[in-house]
């Protein structure tokens, strides 16, 4: 199982940059990732670049096609309900664990994200991504089991890609969902990580796709 890489490493920075690029890429447009250009861009050899691409493939953001190379996986609306159901199931599995209390630092991070969400504009897709990225750090940081944490992370980025696609399709609705999602999380019961995760489930499954 490809492991989560910390963004402060060169490997992690390349992974985060490519993940951001994929999530912000206009839906419906092809995107091919060439190893040679990636090694030049990030100053890395082919082996670590391939490890980055393997992680993105594990997250179902890219796939390898014979004769073409590594391409970004097209979003198929028929798979969205399954992606959401799997993500909900992983969150429910986390709730079965003995969860730590939310620290003051984590609470402060969530309040900061809530502030960012209140300032988000429907056209600022970069800020939308930054908010979902910070929520990933917060939520994954509450999961004590490393295997479940890794699988949750992979599922999370698939969901974020759907959300960024929503913003590209209907920016106003995407902004409304982001603010509603973060507001619901920020109203969690003090220090109760289980309540926060339950709210994440409620907010996720309660979303409506743009018509």
pLDDT tens digit string along 12-28?
999 999 999 999 998 88
Give the global pTM: 0.89
Q: What is the pLDDT of residue 6?
A: 55
Q: How far apart are CA 99 and CA 142, in angstroms?
A: 7
Average pLDDT, the chain: 91
Average pLDDT over residues 160-174: 93
Q: Residue 152: pLDDT band by 50, 70, 90 thresholds?
A: very high
The token pair that represents 93 in the structure block: 């599995």
The residue among 106, 170, 158 whose CA lies nearest residue 132 is: 158
Instruction: Give the model confidence (pLDDT) of 68-102 as tens digits.
Output: 889 999 999 999 999 999 999 999 999 999 999 99
Q: Is the pLDDT of residue 66 over 90?
A: no
DSSP 8-state class, residue 207: -
**CA end-to-end span of the chain:** 36
Helix (H, G, I), strand (E, B) or coil at 144: coil
pLDDT tens digits, 36-62: 999 999 999 999 999 999 999 999 999
φ, ψ dihedrals at 103, nearest 5°: -80, 165
On whether the CB atoms of residues 209 and 80 are closer than 8 A, the answer is: yes
144 and 100 in contact (C-beta within 8 Å)?
A: yes
């Amino acid at each position: 199982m490809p492991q989560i890489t910390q963004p402060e490493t060169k490997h992690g920075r390349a992974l985060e940059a490519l993940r951001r690029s994929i999530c912000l890429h206009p839906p419906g447009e092809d995107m091919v990732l060439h190893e040679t250009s990636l090694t030049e861009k990030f100053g890395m050899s082919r082996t670590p670049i391939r490890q980055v691409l393997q992680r993105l493939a594990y997250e179902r953001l890219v796939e390898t096609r014979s004769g073409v190379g590594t391409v970004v996986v097209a979003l198929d609306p028929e798979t969205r309900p399954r992606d959401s159901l799997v993500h909900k199931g992983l969150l429910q599995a986390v709730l079965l664990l003995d969860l730590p209390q939310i620290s003051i630092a984590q609470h402060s991070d969530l309040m900061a994200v809530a502030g960012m969400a209140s300032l988000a504009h429907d056209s600022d897709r970069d800020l939308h991504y930054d908010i979902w990225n910070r929520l990933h750090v917060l939520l994954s940081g509450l999961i004590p089991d490393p295997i479940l944490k890794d699988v949750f992370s992979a599922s999370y980025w698939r969901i974020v890609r759907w959300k960024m696609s929503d913003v590209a399709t209907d920016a106003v609705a995407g902004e409304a969902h982001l603010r509603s999602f973060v507001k619901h999380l920020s109203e969690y019961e003090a220090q109760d990580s289980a309540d926060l995760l339950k709210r994440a489930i409620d907010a996720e499954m309660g979303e409506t796709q743009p018509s």
